Amino acid sequence: MDKLHKALDFCIRHQTILGYSIVSLLTAASEHIFSSVVFKCPCNSKNMLYGSVFLIVPAFILFLLGYMVNARTWRLLTGSCPPEKRCSCSPWGVCTRYCLILVPVTAKASVAPLTWIAVALLRASFYECAASGSSLIKNLVCKDKGQECHKLMVKLPCDEKLSEKISSEFLALQAQSQLIGWFLIASIMTVALISTCISRCCSPVSYLQLRFWKIYLKKEQELFEIKAKEHATKLAEINMNCFFEATDPAPFQTPSNEDWRKVS
């Protein structure tokens, strides 16, 4: 049992990485399902629209979902614009505080959409469909081949043999898509590593202190949950007794609204 505990401890300690891995795997799996079951390139002048929608809109939806399930977004926003009290502190300070919280939240929310785009580019079917309808790509490929080439171009994703006919010199659309995908992943990783490095470098506290604060925050949250439950039970019991026995409610010590605001 002791060893099992250690394994679970390992999971909990690395839960951020494990969580991201699971989210990425789920995204990749759903991308696989969509591109093989639902996606059918129309192979006419609407290729560009159809392909782009499958590439971008699901990523956008995943991005919004990422914001929604993040508790810190709500902790920041809840009660931040109360109708009675507005702009008591300087707007500049508020703006800075928002940015400091929104940047990591945005970074976390971007994991799933970027995975979607990267996997979709590596699988190449969405990009192939979109690019075959794009006038920029068409002009590049059919530079001096006449109008016939333009018409064949949009049929490309539906007919594998056409690819060889049109252009043996130009890089195939699927290969383009995969190259873009790889470079996208590489640049995202680089940016992520560098930005984490910088943010860590400039932090005023050392590694172990940061560790301690993380542990403290977790403990505090757990204790808050327990204390709040106790407090709520007491309050509810008193109110219930008042109701059924029709006595006046006894005065009960409860934190004021002002206190709550400071704690959050």
- Contact between 29 and its own copies per CB under 8 A: no
Footprint on residues 98-127 left by its own copies (CB under 8 A): 122-124
CB nearer to its own copies: pick between 103 and 240:
240
Alpha carbon distances (Å) from 139 to 93, 104, 130, 168 = 51, 41, 14, 16
Which of positions 220-239 make contact with its own copies (CB under 8 A)?
Answer: 220, 222-225, 227-229, 231-233, 235-237, 239
Q: Which of 87, 91, 146, 244 binds its own copies (CB under 8 A)?
A: 244
| One-letter amino acid for residue 97 of the chain | R
Amino acid at 243: F
Binding to its own copies by CB under 8 A, coded x per residue (else -) over 127-166, reads: ----------------------------------------
88/84 Cα distance (integer angstroms)? 11
User: How far, in Å, CA of 253 to CA of 235, rounded?
Assistant: 9
The structure tokens listed for 125 are 């079917």
Q: How far is CA 65 from CA 58, 73, 115, 123, 189, in A?
A: 10, 12, 14, 24, 22
Token pair, residue 149, equals 């080439």
Residues 4-23 that bind its own copies (CB under 8 A): 5-6, 8, 12, 17
The amino acid present at 156, given as its one-letter code, is L
Site string for its own copies, 55-94 (x = CB under 8 A): --xx-xx--xx-xxx----xxxxxxxxxxx----------
Choose which of 25, 103, 240, 252 interacts with its own copies (CB under 8 A): 240
Q: Quick check: 189 binds its own copies (CB under 8 A)?
A: yes
Q: With beta carbons less than 8 A apart as the criterion, state whether 47 and 133 touch.
A: yes
What is the footprint of its own copies within residues 192-211 (CB under 8 A)? 192-193, 196-197, 200-211
Near its own copies by CB under 8 A: residue from 22, 26, 36, 44: 44
CB of 90 to its own copies, least distance (A): 19
Please tell me the distance from the alpha carbon of residue 109 to that of residue 196, in angstroms, as a whole number: 16
